[in-house]
Amino acid sequence: MNFRSNTRPQAIALVNARLIDPAAQTETRGGVLVRDGNIVEIGPMVTSAAAQAGERVIDCGGDVVCPGLIDMRVFIGEPGAEFRETFATASAAAAAGGVTTMVSTPDTTPPVDDPAVVDFILRRARDNSRVRVLPSAALTKGLRGEELAEIGLLQEAGAVAFTDGAHSVRSSKVMRRLLTYARDYGALVMHVPQDADLAASGVMNEGEFASRLGLGGVPAEAEVIMLDRDLRLVALTRGRYHAALVSTALSLESIARAKAAGLPVTCGISINHLTLNENDIGDYRTFLKLSPPLRQEDERQKLVEGLASGIIDVIVSDHNPQDVEAKRLPFAEAENGAIGLETMLSAGLRLVNAGQISLPKLLAAMTTRPAEILGLPQGRLAVGAPADLIRFDPDEPYVVDPAKLHSRSKNTPFDEARMEGRVKLTMVAGRIVHE
Amino acid sequence: MPDASPQVLSHRHLLGIQGLSRPEIEALLDMSEQAIEVSRQVEKKKTVLRGRTLINLFFEASTRTQASFELAGKRLGADVMNMAVANSSVKKGETLIDTAVTLNAMRPDIIVVRHYCSGAVDLLARKVGCSVVNAGDGSHEHPTQALLDALTIRRRKGRIEGLTVAICGDVLHSRVARSNMILLSALGARVRAVGPSTLLPSGIDRMGVEVHRTMETGIADADIVMMLRVQRERMDGAFIPSSREFFRFFGLDAARLKLAKPDALVMHPGPINRGVEIDSEVADGPQSLINEQVEMGVAVRMAVLESLAQHLPNG
């Protein structure tokens, strides 16, 4: 099922499909012909009748066919936390969820702050991953926020972006130098803005609900204060900056202002923050303990509006597998994080089916925009583009069964949830990796 | 060098290249040419500073600059005293001005000062009655280094006007870079500052130089590639991630030097970090002027001391 093979892939025609090109925001009927790993023909002329000998024809029965998803934020446990996730299990989950490119986070053990670790990840991924893996590397040595990591050498080794994982860079001086230095290399700084002091005692969103549960809160200001600092430094340095995870309406105001000022700024949000709110924590459900925390429902609605209006560029799964022991703890002591590779698309379709965003727009935030930010040729349905494609029926109902998820860890916040739109086929570089 | 030569410098101190006119700079270089001849004789003594006292006051350790000034002073006949600041009352909390006033009371004729703070030499000069030479103040100026670099270039290339000079590396912290940028521009060279953005000072693009952030563009077709020393403590992640990354992208090796003109010359104020900013093959190679710079250093300092002596009472 690995898409890397020395044999020539069979030509495949996906016919009778609802073709969505999120790059052009178009929707047409027809088929896609794939040969030698690339899209060679698109449109109503690609039919089973037009198929030539040796081509495999797949009748999609009116299902959506679109570019595969590009997930900019995936924790994969290699090296060092293979008990949580491996390239094999993460990529199986990705393939099942329609994710054809994963950007791995650098908070491994050891962290990805040395070119040799980038090399290790690329080799392990080559041998074990069903989908594409692009490593992100550390911004600072040891993710400690103190000393610049070897951004030039890490980029040469294959790192596509730079982040300290879940850690925020506390020192403004260090952040300024990072943005300045990274700009010379055209490197993307992906930062999770959070003021560690202000957030220190919090384990969920600050407010009435946290107070009723007796849990410490993280105010929205912990995020926006750090974000505003970062944006000031972007204005000073002109370094490329991506706020990796935003969770509050205040942050969207700041991002919108920065974009209006022409700064090289983009932002991402986890699918969880678009589809869940703090009330889902309910009776201390640790699978919903996330960082940044889930916010109130009115905040969530503003975030969805921000996605629809384009202030938010990218949706990520923020896939963060945690083993049972890390979650079967009192809420305050449990680890943060939820898995999401396999459910990201279905969860996003909830927004489409609720009429809050169009399907092409949702898909753009999972395909075209991440491709543009990372400078990838994927993320569009166009002749000559790599044949990273998925097929799904956006209305097909199913219930999430954690036991059947491919991830090694089962900490899904959508445990037993009713979903629509299971992925029926995933293709990477013209090879089917999930069907 | 006739002892009754007309005044070369209009000022009694040499605090920086800033403020020197082109004729003053050229006159100093001409005088230095004569000093080279003196240094190459068996009898290296002159008498223009006979009876004069020169104090080397170094608040920052330096072997070569201090030795160079000491030799220059001795070859002109002066009595030279080196103040080892590590053992002095400065360590006991005496302020810079107190030190200056104390030394002044000993009636020296010339004080050569190096200090780790920008502007410190200027401050000291205002408190003493003798001439002061700046031997490097913080990240501000190092005028004799720029003069010796210009002398070295002029002797090898026959001119400075029209040459492309790439100053590469830690421009941010470099007083050598600042003095050279001013001096070489004043003499008509096209000066480039080359380095990672974290080692380029803010506003560099308005300092009369071309700014390059890669070596490949920065040294392309250069006549002179001037490498700067990068302090170890700046390569541990504070300004650049590591010495290996710095060498990969900004180190001068033989392959990279080929991007400059075929007859390009390589300079470095020393001491060099082999394998960090410069490869040994280049530092020791035929295009390197590094040792010649040291010889020119003594000559330039002789010229500077002699021209300042013209301002001394009865001088």
Query: Model confidence over B262-298: pLDDT tens digits?
Result: 999 999 999 999 999 999 999 999 999 999 999 999 9
Is B238–A180 a contact, with Cβ atoms under 8 angstroms apart? no
Mutate to test the interface with A, among B245, B247, B250 (most CBs of A within 10 A): B245
Residues A106 and A197 in one domain: yes
- Residue range A154-162: average pLDDT? 98
B4 falls in which pLDDT band (50, 70, 90)? very low
- Residue range A14-33: average pLDDT? 97
Is A181–B213 a contact, with Cβ atoms under 8 angstroms apart? no
Shortest distance between the Cα of B197 and any Cα of chain A, in A, equals 6
CA angle B31, B35, B41 (to 5 degrees): 155
On whether the CB atoms of residues A83 and A77 are closer than 8 A, the answer is: yes
Q: Are β-strands B265-267 and B224-227 bridged in parallel, bridged antiparallel, or unpaired?
A: parallel
Is A150–B236 a contact, with Cβ atoms under 8 angstroms apart? no
CA distance B279 to B256: 10
Element (H, E) at A209: helix A208-213
Is B64 in the active site? yes
User: How many domains does the structure of chain A reveal?
Assistant: 2
Within 8 A of A181 by CB-CB distance, chain B residues are 196-198, 240-241
Residue A112: the pLDDT is 98
Q: In what order do the strands lie in the sheet with A265-270?
A: A69-74, A99-104, A132-137, A161-162, A189-191, A241-243, A265-270, A314-316
Structure tokens at B302: 């002789």
| Residue A379 belongs to some domain of the structure | no
Residues A177 and A315 in one domain: yes
Residue B3: the pLDDT is 46
Structure tokens at B15: 């605090």
Residue A400, pLDDT above cutoff 80: yes
Residues A209 and A308 in one domain: yes
Within 8 A of B245 by CB-CB distance, chain A residues are 150-153
| Residue A250 belongs to some domain of the structure | yes
Which residues in chain A (132-151) have CB-CB distances under 8 A to chain B? Answer: 140-141, 146-151
Is B142 in the active site? yes
| Residue A320 belongs to some domain of the structure | yes
A195-199 contacts: CB < 8 A, separation 24 or more?
A: A195/A168, A195/A221, A195/A222, A195/A223, A195/A225, A195/A226, A196/A168, A196/A170, A198/A222, A198/A225
pTM: 0.94
Residue A107, pLDDT above cutoff 90: yes
**Which amino acid, A249?**
A
Contacts with B158 (C-beta within 8 Å, 6 or more apart), sequence order:
none
Element (H, E) at B99: helix B96-105
Residue B16, pLDDT above cutoff 50: yes
With CA atoms as reference, the chain A residue closest to B240 would be A148
DSSP letter for B126, please: T
Q: Are β-strands B164-168 and B79-84 bridged in parallel, bridged antiparallel, or unpaired?
A: unpaired
Segment A329-386, tens digit of pLDDT: 999 999 999 999 999 999 999 999 999 999 999 999 999 999 999 999 999 999 999 9
Is B198–A181 a contact, with Cβ atoms under 8 angstroms apart? yes
| Residue A46 belongs to some domain of the structure | yes
Q: Which domain holds residue A16?
A: 12-65+387-434
Cβ of residue A186 closer than 8 Å to a chain B Cβ: no
Closest CB to B241: pick one of A151, A156, A183.
A151
Residues A82 and A228 in one domain: yes
Predicted complex ipTM: 0.90
| Residue A381 belongs to some domain of the structure | no
Answer whether the bond into residue B6 is a cis peptide, omega within 30°: no
Shortest distance between the Cα of A292 and any Cα of chain B, in A, equals 28
With CA atoms as reference, the chain A residue closest to B215 would be A184
Residues A125 and A247 in one domain: yes
Which residues, listed in sequence order, are joined to residue A266 by a DSSP beta bridge?
Answer: A242
What integer best gives the mean pLDDT of chain B? 93
- CATH number, domain of A36, equals 2.30.40.10
Shortest distance between the Cα of B50 and any Cα of chain A, in A, equals 52
Q: From A374, A398, A421, give the residue that closes a domain.
A: A374
Which residues in chain A (224-243) have CB-CB distances under 8 A to chain B? Answer: 237
Residues A60 and A78 in one domain: no
Percent of chain B with pLDDT over 90: 81
With CA atoms as reference, the chain A residue closest to B239 would be A177
Cβ density class A301-319: b for 16+ within 10 Å, e for less: ebbbebbbeebbbbbbbbb
Closest CB to A148: pick one of B214, B240, B244.
B240
Residue A372: the pLDDT is 98
On whether the CB atoms of residues A352 and A394 are closer than 8 A, the answer is: yes
Residues A19 and A80 in one domain: no
| Residue A342 belongs to some domain of the structure | yes
Segment B153-196, tens digit of pLDDT: 999 999 999 999 999 999 999 999 999 999 999 999 999 999 99
Is B238–A184 a contact, with Cβ atoms under 8 angstroms apart? no
| Residue A270 belongs to some domain of the structure | yes
Is B198–A177 a contact, with Cβ atoms under 8 angstroms apart? yes
Segment B31-82, tens digit of pLDDT: 999 999 999 999 888 899 999 999 999 998 888 999 999 999 999 999 999 9
Shortest distance between the Cα of A265 and any Cα of chain B, in A, equals 20
Dump strand ranges (E) for chain B: 53-58, 79-84, 110-115, 131-137, 164-168, 190-194, 210-212, 224-227, 265-267
Residue B1: the pLDDT is 44
| Residue A243 belongs to some domain of the structure | yes
Within 8 A of B216 by CB-CB distance, chain A residues are none
Residues A28 and A107 in one domain: no
**Where do we find the tokens 């070897």?**
A150
CA distance A203 to A222: 13
Shortest distance between the Cα of A164 and any Cα of chain B, in A, equals 15
Residues A317 and A404 in one domain: no
On whether the CB atoms of residues A145 and A169 are closer than 8 A, the answer is: yes
- CATH number, domain of A240, equals 3.20.20.140
Residues A133 and A251 in one domain: yes
Residues A88 and A131 in one domain: yes
Phi-psi region of A114 (alpha: psi -120 to 50; beta: other; left: phi over 0): beta
Residues A242 and A289 in one domain: yes
